[in-house]
Amino acid sequence: MTPSAATELSLAPLGAGDLIDRAVRLYRRHLFILIRIAAPPVIVAAAGWILTTISFRQVFQTASEGELALYLLGGFAGLAVTIGGYLFTLTVMGGATRNLVAHLLRNDPVSAKATYEAVRARFWGLLWASVLVLGWIMIASVAAFTGLYMVSAFLVFGSFVFATSAPGWLAVIVVVLGVLVASFVSLWVFFFVVGRVAYVPQVMLVEGRGIMEAFGRSFSLARGNVRRLMAMTLFTTFATESAMMILWAPLTWYGYINGIDPFNSAQWPAWYAIVYSIPGPLSSILLMPVWMLGLSLLYVDERVRHEGYDIELMASRQLPEMPELNVTSPLGTALSRQVKTPPPAPPRASGSVLNLG
């Protein structure tokens, strides 16, 4: 391993700030390769979202029953393609992590080809695992935001009662502080639940485990990762939203100058609605690699913290490859083989053991 690669990702426990810093440094070093890796799933999801947006806009403007059925069908097809893009993103994360570990272990180049070859080797297993992970995320989202809504509604109702016997400004402050605290608790609960399955694709491709084993392994690794996972997600979300605002600003001004109301999307012409949908996917393509790298580094960091993965990686760099033994272990290997081939058969002796007969 070259000294630059060794110092680029020193294997030590990472805090939230260190995790973001390492992800951004890797992103800058491999910018265009990482964009090529992240672009296909984002483009698929963006195409589905654009189809959904156009179809459902036309649903409220058409007067023909045949066109109404066609637009509804197009809208639901767009939603299916969008969900497929999100599932594709989860599968690609596993391949990106395997490529990163191979880069750490053998200084293999970071490449889109290696990432997608790793995904193709276990595509169907990754697809089913991604469906389960996405379902888990949706359940966690519904639970977290339902709790936030109930607490917020209780605070608002209580503020009206409280305002009858206290100054109005004090009731407003109590409501605002209560909603902020409830929002933080809801976010913490959401990331606590989602963090249990954050490493399923990585475990499948790096350690070569099955779907159910990968879920159990992810649960065991995800101890104390809430703060770092939350920090990585919020950083990527704010960066993506900032990029979208920068790209949306000239489009908004152009539409306003040409008589298009930017706040009334129902009256937008079709070409403007399509162009206005481009900045979202474009900013995701630019910043999705940071999210992928962050999750990959977080997986490696969990193994460094819990299993001494840094020692295992250093040993794997110096020692020859271990033979494939039929031994089970609660710990994962440094990097599993994608395709397991049986050892070659020993040569057949023509006579005696010493070939003398």
What pLDDT, on the 0 to 100 scale, is given for residue 5? 43
Looking at the predicted structure, is the pLDDT value of residue 235 above 70?
A: yes
Query: pLDDT tens across 28-84, in order?
Result: 888 888 888 888 888 888 888 888 877 877 777 777 777 788 888 888 898 899 888
pTM above 0.95, yes or no: no
What pLDDT, on the 0 to 100 scale, is given for residue 149? 81
pLDDT band at 13 (very low <50, low <70, confident <90, very high): low
pLDDT band at 10 (very low <50, low <70, confident <90, very high): low
What percent of the chain lies above the pLDDT cut of 70?
A: 79
Interval 108-132 mean pLDDT: 87
Query: pLDDT tens across 245-284, in order?
Result: 888 888 888 888 888 877 776 677 777 877 887 888 888 8
Q: What is the 3-state secondary structure (H, E, C) of the chain?
A: CCHHHHHHCCCCCCCHHHHHHHHHHHHHHCHHHHHHHHHHHHHHHHHHHHHHHHHHHHHCCCCCHHHHHHHHHHHHHHHHHHHHHHHHHHHHHHHHHHHHHHHHHHCCCCCHHHHHHHHHHCHHHHHHHHHHHHHHHHHHHHHHHHHHHHHHHHHHHHHHHHHCCCCHHHHHHHHHHHHHHHHHHHHHHHHHHHHHHCCHHHHHHHCCCCHHHHHHHHHHHCCCCHHHHHHHHHHHHHHHHHHHHHHHHHHHHHHHHCCCCCCCHHHCCHHHHHHHCCHHHHHHHHHHHHHHHHHHHHHHHHHHHHHCHHHHHHHHHHCCCCCCCCCCCCCCCCCCCCCCCCCCCCCCCCCCCCCCC
pLDDT band at 352 (very low <50, low <70, confident <90, very high): very low
What pLDDT, on the 0 to 100 scale, is given for residue 136? 92
Looking at the predicted structure, is the pLDDT value of residue 293 above 80?
A: yes
230 vs 169, residue with greater confidence: 230
* Range with the poorest average pLDDT among 74-83, 151-160, 178-187, 312-321: 312-321
Query: pLDDT tens across 122-167, in order?
Result: 888 888 998 999 889 989 888 888 888 887 777 777 777 666 666 7
* Range with the poorest average pLDDT among 9-18, 34-43, 138-147, 211-220: 9-18
Interval 94-102 mean pLDDT: 82
Q: How high does pLDDT run on average in the chain?
A: 77
